A = this chain, B = another copy of it.
Amino acid sequence: MNPSEYLSSYGVSRTAIREKLLSILSREDQALSSKEIEEKLGEDIDRVTLYRSIRLFEDKNIIHKIVIDDQTIKYKLINPKKGSTHPHFHCVECDKVLCLPETPLPQCNLPEGFSAKTQNTIVEGTCQKCNH
């Protein structure tokens, strides 16, 4: 499916910036920060518009936000077949953030009276490449 069709299938109108953003994200297997996206977009892009586009993509479930810590927030295109309810891996060496879609979310036992809706799991460690 081409970018325009992809966007309209999510109810998002086609604009130059949104197609560029989609294109950048779809080329990556790793999650990107807004700063990294900004750098890939180059000079000719307004920061405000980028933030608005990212938020729109989030709201429309085109991407999901992965919060590693207060300094590290990354975005990843959602694979419609796999969703976004899986753990994420953060390499402390190269700072890559990857989805672990094949790993089921481990279950936690909650105290009496508590109920869980979603769960967020970040595994911190070193990736294949950084382990040589």
How many copies, total?
2
Contact assessment for A114 and B128 in the assembled complex, using a CB-CB cutoff below 8 Å: yes
* B residues less than 8 Å from A109 (CB atoms): 102-103
A12 within 8 A of B: no
| Known contacts A108-B87, A109-B103, A124 near B114 by CB under 8 Å | no
A100 CB contacts on chain B under 8 angstroms: 108, 110-111
Expressed in whole angstroms, the minimum distance between the Cβ of A117 and any Cβ of chain B is 5
| Contact status B113-A123, CB under 8 Å | no
Say whether B131 contacts A123, CB under 8 Å.
no
Contacts of A117 in B (CB 8 A): 92, 124-126
A25 to chain B, nearest CB (A): 19
Residues of A within 8 A of B (CB): 65, 67-70, 73, 87, 89, 92, 100, 102-103, 106-128, 131
Q: What are 5 sample pairs from A and B whose C-beta atoms fall under 8 A apart?
A: A89-B114, A100-B111, A103-B109, A110-B125, A116-B124
